[in-house]
Amino acid sequence: MKEPTILDFVKALLTPWRGRPPAIPPFEEPLTPSSVSSLDETTVEVPPQASSAPEPAPTTTRPVLQPVSHEPFRIPWLSLSAVGLALLAQRMLEPPREGSPLVAVGIYALALIALVVAIWKHEWRAPALENETPPAPLSLKVRSRAVMLAAGLMPFAFLALGGNRFTPLNLILWLGCLAATLAAFLLPTQSAGGYRDWLNRLRQSYWTVTISRWTVVLALTTLVVVFYRFYRLDSVLGEMFSDHAEKLLDVADVLQGQTSIFFPRNTGREALQMYLTALIAVVAGTGLSFMSLKIGTALAGLVALPFIYLLGKEIGGKWVGLVAFFLAGVAYWPNVISRVGLRFPLYPMAVAPALFFLIRGLRHGRRNDFIWAGLAVGIGLHGYSPTRLLPVVMGLAVGLYLLHRHSQGRRWATVWAFGALAFTALVVFLPLLRYMMEQPEMFAFRALTRLSAVERPYPAPVWQIFLSNLWKALIMFFYDNGTIWVHSIPGRPALDLFTAAFYFLGLVIITLRYVQERHWVDIFLLLSVPMLMMPSILSLAFPEENPSLNRTGGAIVPVFIIAAIGLVSFWQTLKKHLYPRWGQAISGLVGVGLLVAVGYQNFNLVFREFDRQFMASAWNTSQIGHVIRAFADSIGTPDTAYVVPYPYWVDTRLVGINAGYPLKDYALWPEDFEKTLDQPDPKLFILKPEDQAALAKLRALYPTGFLYYYDSHREGKDFLIFFVPPQTP
């Protein structure tokens, strides 16, 4: 029979309906002359001859002391070609795009072929999954008294949580039910009783601190990531838009004692951000301000990153974890959605720990990890509505695990552990469950307006919209991340040039590894990306809103881990094939150079390009607010300044927030101008230059008024100031 070639394998991948592709040789080192020369360190067994003589006792040999042999210097041309072609293809998709995107697709196809051939010929060092703990039986024992206490408290907590209000009584019942649930399911660990050891160490006169090189590398990476996430937080984003006014009004309700479970203002919002912002407003002293919102969401975005590191380390080792941590930490996509000041980063903040604990629990048979995953899911459901899809993704992970050989002997125990996870998440979700039962229309309104024809009819057949949305979402990493300017750069890829190229290579590596090894983690990584993007893909009634960086935010977790797998495996390939004296240095320089290039491009995307286009599109309510504040602090009062509304102009509530009066709406319509005649104090009217009718009416009412033109230094953002001196009796 003719032996299959690499071309046959590629054809089979491109035509899956014809059957499975031919088997790929294992990812192992080829036998080289150097490895053959090292055989003198071992004993070669020869099959015994048929003889009646007794078999001699086995002998041992001592290894020959000689220098360790290495592969000769060899440039990995196929691997370099795969990376170079991927970078070239992605460069053609970077704005401004030159040439047809089909050319870039063709070059990406060549990169795919080069990578497949490199792996086939054992040139590319495809990483193996980190070793799993041998399957251990999951304990099914629970603390029966704690279970009965949790079951007894749950119905009382559910009933007490009615009326969409947190009260001292229902909080005690709800948190008591949660504490009983954790006590029922969590198993004691070795570290649980080690607090005495820590106390003894604290009492010692001298402390010993050991700092490894890895700790230093991790600390320096963390400093870089923190810099990217908090640098110029006060000015990027530099302006609010209407959603921020709605959020701050909800936070004001909390500070005034209105402890809602669900906030129905502006089509409904979960409560986590409101309480987090209220806490920051008080503790940080930032009050009801844009800065309070941004500090909270920047911290939420930061919380996801350690779990991305841990999940990457769990799957691919510490270098994959570190590179994923860096890529996600400096990237434009997660950085921008964390700076907007809205609930967007709460989605990846829930996904990252939930997937980490679940995957670790499945791979190592650790029941406590299932409980922590359930806790993460439950908390996430109080954050951002796309997180409602996370339980489905968790179920997908467990289902794939059960369908693969790795679950043999543990299937029923895994189902039981997943049930404990679901019960824990349900207990945390209980307040929202109560609200959902009371107000199902409001709870699901925003999702239904996108998924169904409640607000407007479907613009095309549903299946066509879904397939179109799916395609646009899958290519957003390479081509177009959507047109929503408030949290993205319209028309550019969601990933930078280098991360996108290595994400593509990582996808190929994981796909090939799954074809060979059939490991459930690989197929889950691949499927989790579109699944976590479903909140955007399922915008069927408003397909123009897809893709969007906010509703796809959960995919940040697997996307950057896959990109890290591609980059780290390339680095390891260089290290393997280059001469040992220079391999470490050259591969290290290449790796650092790639990360520096990633950091540079993302810095430019966030702090220059995005900032510039956002400020060009956002209305300058901060400048209007500063003018009103200066007027109120000098010759006027906060109550004698007004903003005349005009279609598609500033949100007058934001003017009050920027002026330092967050609960004041400065709108005054022209038909109400006469109501100001009774005010003897100086008056200030802010108008849009196009509103000549309102200006004429003010001139007629106040002939002694003065008109000033405010130059905002932003195109199309200037405004008029009409000042009325104090009236003398």
Asked if the structure places residue 135 within a domain, the reply is no
Rounded to whole angstroms, how far apart are CA atoms 619 and 631?
20
Q: What is the pLDDT of residue 11?
A: 61
Asked if 571 and 642 sit in the same domain, the reply is: no
Asked if the structure places residue 670 within a domain, the reply is yes
Asked if 610 and 650 sit in the same domain, the reply is: no
The yes-or-no verdict on residue 42 having pLDDT over 50 is no
CB 228 within 8 A of CB 603: yes
CB 112 within 8 A of CB 508: yes
pLDDT in tens, 209-224: 788 999 999 999 999 9
Asked if the structure places residue 632 within a domain, the reply is yes
Q: What is the pLDDT of residue 15?
A: 59
| Other Cβ atoms within 10 Å of 469 Cβ, number | 21
The yes-or-no verdict on residue 232 having pLDDT over 70 is yes
The yes-or-no verdict on residue 8 having pLDDT over 90 is no
The yes-or-no verdict on residue 54 having pLDDT over 80 is no
Rounded to whole angstroms, how far apart are CA atoms 723 and 706?
5
Token code pair at residue 390: 């996370």
Instruction: Look up tokens 């909800």; give the residue.
Output: 250
* Residue 25 pLDDT level (bands cut at 50, 70, 90): low
Q: What is the pLDDT of residue 28?
A: 45
Asked if 296 and 258 sit in the same domain, the reply is: yes
Q: What is the pLDDT of residue 196?
A: 65
- DSSP classification of residue 16: G
- DSSP classification of residue 671: G
Asked if 379 and 484 sit in the same domain, the reply is: yes
* Residue 263 pLDDT level (bands cut at 50, 70, 90): very high
Q: What is the pLDDT of residue 6?
A: 57
Asked if 462 and 394 sit in the same domain, the reply is: yes
Q: Between residues 386 and 206, which one has the greater pLDDT?
A: 386
Asked if 672 and 574 sit in the same domain, the reply is: no
Asked if the structure places residue 97 within a domain, the reply is yes
The yes-or-no verdict on residue 27 having pLDDT over 50 is no
* pLDDT, average across residues 698-713: 95
The yes-or-no verdict on residue 58 having pLDDT over 60 is no
The set of residues, in sequence order, having a beta carbon less than 8 Å from that of 281 and lying 6+ positions away, is 251, 255, 287, 288, 289, 292
The yes-or-no verdict on residue 479 having pLDDT over 70 is yes
Asked if the structure places residue 134 within a domain, the reply is no
Q: What is the dihedral of CA 697, 701, 704, 706, to 10 degrees?
A: -30
Q: What is the pLDDT of residue 139?
A: 75
What is the helix (H) or strand (E) element at residue 252, kind and residue range? helix 242-255
Distances (CA, A) of 269 to 253, 536, 541, 543, 563: 13, 17, 20, 22, 33
Token code pair at residue 510: 């994981």
Q: What total number of domains does the chain contain? A: 3
Q: Between residues 85 and 407, which one has the greater pLDDT?
A: 85
Q: What is the pLDDT of residue 59?
A: 41
Q: Which of 586, 616, 646 is the last residue of a domain?
A: 616
Q: What is the pLDDT of residue 81?
A: 96
Asked if 551 and 478 sit in the same domain, the reply is: yes
Closest CA to 636 of 684, 689, 588: 684
pLDDT in tens, 495-516: 999 999 999 999 999 999 999 8
Q: What is the pLDDT of residue 204?
A: 76
Instruction: Look up tokens 């240095």; give the residue.
Output: 585
Asked if the structure places residue 572 within a domain, the reply is yes
Asked if 281 and 374 sit in the same domain, the reply is: yes
Q: Which of 585, 616, 647 is the last residue of a domain?
A: 616
CB 659 within 8 A of CB 706: no
pLDDT in tens, 264-306: 998 899 999 999 999 999 999 999 999 999 999 999 999 999 9
pLDDT in tens, 606-649: 999 999 999 999 999 999 999 999 999 999 999 999 999 999 99
* pLDDT, average across residues 406-428: 93
Cis, bond preceding 547 (omega within 30 deg of 0): yes
Closest CA to 378 of 391, 369, 361, 365: 391
Asked if the structure places residue 403 within a domain, the reply is yes
* Residue 365 pLDDT level (bands cut at 50, 70, 90): confident
For the whole model, what pTM was predicted? 0.88
Asked if 467 and 602 sit in the same domain, the reply is: yes
Summary mean pLDDT of the chain: 88
C-alpha distance across the termini of the chain, in Å: 109
- Domain range for 697 is 621-724
Token code pair at residue 318: 């510490």
Token code pair at residue 102: 């089909």
Asked if the structure places residue 53 within a domain, the reply is no
Asked if 469 and 533 sit in the same domain, the reply is: yes
Q: What is the pLDDT of residue 126?
A: 76
Asked if 502 and 466 sit in the same domain, the reply is: yes
Closest CA to 480 of 204, 95, 40: 95
The yes-or-no verdict on residue 160 having pLDDT over 50 is yes
Asked if 531 and 652 sit in the same domain, the reply is: no
pLDDT in tens, 299-353: 999 999 999 999 999 999 999 999 999 999 999 999 999 999 999 999 999 999 9
Q: What is the pLDDT of residue 579?
A: 67
Q: Which of 104, 120, 136 is the last residue of a domain?
A: 120
* Residue 581 pLDDT level (bands cut at 50, 70, 90): low
CB 571 within 8 A of CB 587: yes
| Other Cβ atoms within 10 Å of 230 Cβ, number | 16
CB 183 within 8 A of CB 459: no
Q: What is the pLDDT of residue 23?
A: 61
* Residue 71 pLDDT level (bands cut at 50, 70, 90): low
Q: What is the pLDDT of residue 9?
A: 58
